[in-house]
Structure 1
């Protein structure tokens, strides 16, 4: 920004209240407006004049620097807890983007099995009324798990009515670090790359070297493919991203899945030799652009709570916590 206003420069990246002109003072009606949100440099506008962006809860507001009347820093917004209906909606989107090959609905619960490949696809998603008393529902979870050779596990949003009901029956949060996870969200406009990134490609099918990045010895490969590359007409739109150096060497991969207006990001992995070089950020931005081109407006990710590196990366890119969920096991 070439505004000559040191005050504005110092406030970039902070939450501000910004008053700006929207019409000449001589015009009828309001001529000033206020925007509250994170301030960002908007670069030159269509006429070449410097601009600002204010990322508000209602969307991004674009302001010419010359139209700024007053600006001040304000405290961070207090997080607003999403409704349980919104949590349920997002959990179902995540489940559709990571589909188990075996699914049985029990009222609003979704019992899932995938040969043991990932707990996400081998647990009962409890986000509503199972249609039977909870003790009976949990007994059915046990029977279903036994039939498919997997441990009985219930996935439930932390603090939700369904989480409390299962806990009341003596089920506990799993003891391992992976039993607690965070759901992160972001608007794609804040994540997406402005244009194609060199060395990044997205394919409808994962290449052999895409698969090779993951050390999953002992995994059921048929189940793994059924979850990650589901062959079903109602499945998500899929893109398997790769990042390569100029010499063609693979540096990172990601899986992108579009479900409705959401882009579900997963399997982001950067090879050891390429870490701390920005590959993860570039892949995420490219995946966001890929998803936006296919109608997505929002990004959603599920991250193990203890994975601080991944959470820090996504938070730097603008993702915020929507809710948390636990994997509950019999006590």
Structure 2
């Protein structure tokens, strides 16, 4: 990482660069006999009181005393990846939202308040794609009241790590004592590669609807009331997949929503007794082939950042991280 000009370390950033992507080098141990440095790259989200806050692409905020800086510069936006379909944050955010629609929603400027009786954070959080049409503190007060009226905690879904994401909003929420409870990755890949997986799709049953057996395998539904059924059934073109097990509950299930060129994969779950038998690959391959028949060419999915097994599985299918998203809760 090059910080020098004519052999000298230089600090070429200032508070005026808040909101820009920067790279800084700081002294990590001022008392060490030999100078030790730490490099940090991310969006400069604040610079006040002699402290810089840099938000990394994963959403982690790093606080850096101005006195420890030895070098810094503005750097270009995250470079475009060569693998997988091209997509900007706004497009992908709207596609993912259409695949998991709430029971109830309301506009607050360009924000969307979403509620579904508490079934999943995605369907019970604010999607802030733009300006709420009022000062942030007023908007957050409206958000708290709207969710409180429904007996729900107030969540705001934000994103980091791609061009146009919401690092500054994350920093503003943290400054107001909102806390990130869950972080996940939005990954993208080529749909044909998923459809070409070497998997036995003959055992997979595809349907436009799901039944009680499918819901028994789905681990996130809780009591499957009308709100659960509505969210799961939402989307432009929805498909459900299952593989029969020995009992009344499927060995594996999955869900796919086709939306123009995109196919989104969700609810891919395998009974622990049937894992490492290729069932997840078979579910995804069967769904991908159906999506290809409908004209889709690109794939996306969401996986929680601490799900090492899922991330390894999807990496083997050619998926890569597009951006990270986080659910901030009002404390």
- State the TM bucket, normalised to the shorter chain: 0.5 to 0.7
TM norm structure 1: 0.68
Q: Which residue of 2 aligns with 1:271?
A: 271
Shift of 1:214: 2.5
Name the SS of the counterpart of 1:201 in structure 2: strand
SS of the counterpart of 1:277? coil
Please give the alpha-carbon distance, in whole angstroms, between the structure 1 residues aligned to 2:327 and 2:237: 27
Q: Which residue of structure 2 aligns with residue 23 of structure 1?
A: none
Q: Who is 2:313 aligned against?
A: 313
* Deviation for aligned residue 1:173: 6.4
Q: Which residue is equivalent to 2:216? A: 212
User: 1:37-52 counterparts in 2 under 5 A?
Assistant: none
Cα contact 2:218–2:253 (8 A) shared by 1: no
Say which SS state the counterpart of residue 198 (structure 1) adopts. Answer: helix
* Alignment counterpart, residue 192 of structure 1, candidates 191, 195, 214: 195
Distance in 1 (CA, whole Å) between partners of 2:180 and 2:112 is: 23
Give the unaligned 5+ runs of structure 2: 1-77
1:294-313 superposed matches below 5 A = 294-313=294-313
- Matches of 2:201 and 2:90 in 1, distance apart? 35
Name the SS of the counterpart of 1:250 in structure 2. coil
Tell me the SS of whatever aligns to 2:313.
helix
CA contact (8 A) 1:256 1:265 kept: yes
**TM-superposed deviation, 1:276:** 0.6
- Counterpart CA distance in 1 for 2:172 and 2:249 is 52
Distance 1:166 1:319, change over 3 A: closer
The alpha-carbon deviation at position 215 of structure 1 amounts to 4.0
Task: Please list the CA deviations of residues 96-121 of structure 1 after superposition, one character each: whole Å capped at 9, or x if unmatched.
Answer: 10000101122221110000000000
Structure 1's 320 and 166: CA in aligned 2 closer, same or farther, altered over 3 A?
closer
Which residue in the other structure is 1:31 paired with? Answer: none
Map 1:25-40 → 2, pairs under 5 A:
none
Q: Distance in 2 between matches of 1:81 and 1:143?
A: 41
Counterpart CA distance in 2 for 1:315 and 1:164 is 29
Partner of 1:181: 184
SS at match of 1:95: helix
TM-score, scaled relative to structure 2 = 0.68
Q: How far apart in 2 are the matches of 1:325 and 1:196?
A: 33
**Alignment partner, residue 240 of structure 2:** 240
What CA distance in whole angstroms lies between the structure 2 residues aligned with 1:274 and 1:260? 33
Conservation of the 8 A alpha-carbon contact between 2:217 and 2:249: no
Q: Is the 8 A contact 1:257 1:265 kept in 2?
A: yes
The CA RMSD over aligned residues, in Å, is 2.7
- The alignment partner of 2:134 has SS state of coil
Instruction: Confirm or deny: 8 A CA contact 2:110 2:131 kept in the other structure.
Output: yes
5+ unaligned residues in a row in structure 1: which ranges? 1-77
